[in-house]
Amino acid sequence: MSTNDAARRAWEANAAHWDDYMGAAGNDFVNLLVWPGTARLLDARPGERVLDVACGNGLYALRLAELGARVTAFDFAAPLIARARARSAAQAGRIAYHVVDATDLAALLALGEGQHDAALCNMALFDMADIAPLAAGLARLLRPGGRFVFSVMHPCFNGLHATHVAEGYDDGRRFTTRYGLRLSRYLTPFTAEGIAIRGQPEPQPYFHRPLGDLLMPFLSAGFVLDALEEAAFPPGHQPEKQTSWSGNYSEFPPVLIARLRR
Interval 105-162: pLDDT, tens? 999 999 999 999 999 999 999 999 999 999 999 999 999 999 999 999 999 999 999 9
Question: Which stretch of DSSP H or E encloses residue 231?
Answer: strand 224-231
CA–CA dist 76, 96 (Å, integer): 14
Tell me how far apart the terminal alpha carbons of the chain are, to the nearest angstrom.
34
Query: How large is the average pLDDT for residues 166-195?
Result: 93
CA–CA dist 78, 85 (Å, integer): 11
CA–CA dist 250, 55 (Å, integer): 28
Above 90 in pLDDT, residue 41? yes
DSSP string spanning 151-210?
A: EEE-TTTSSTTEEEEEEEEE-SS-EEEEEEEEES--SS-EEEEE-SSTT-SS-EEEEE--
CA–CA dist 56, 61 (Å, integer): 9
Q: What is the pLDDT of residues 64-121, one digit of tens each?
A: 999 999 999 999 999 999 999 999 999 989 999 999 999 999 999 999 999 999 999 9
Query: How large is the average pLDDT for residues 17-44?
Result: 96
For the chain, the helix, strand and coil percentages under 3-state DSSP, each to the nearest 5? 35, 30, 35
Do the strands 224-231 and 255-261 form a parallel or antiparallel pair, or are they unpaired? antiparallel
**pLDDT band (50, 70, 90) for residue 1:** confident
Q: Specify the range with the lowest mean pLDDT, choosing from 52-61, 127-136, 174-183.
A: 174-183
Query: How large is the average pLDDT for residues 197-207?
Result: 94
Query: If you average pLDDT over every residue of the chain, what do you get?
Result: 96
CA–CA dist 146, 178 (Å, integer): 44
CATH number of 3-154+188-261: 3.40.50.150
CA–CA dist 150, 85 (Å, integer): 23
10 Å Cβ neighbour count for 73? 27
Above 70 in pLDDT, residue 241? no
Q: Tell me the sheet residues that pair with 111.
A: none
What pLDDT does 119 receive?
98
10 Å Cβ neighbour count for 146? 23
What pLDDT does 52 receive?
98
What pLDDT does 46 receive?
97
The residues spanned by each domain of the chain are 3-154+188-261
- DSSP-derived letter for residue 124 is -
CA–CA dist 41, 257 (Å, integer): 9
What pLDDT does 39 receive?
98
> For residue 20, how many C-alpha atoms fall within 13 Å in the half-sphere facing its CB?
10
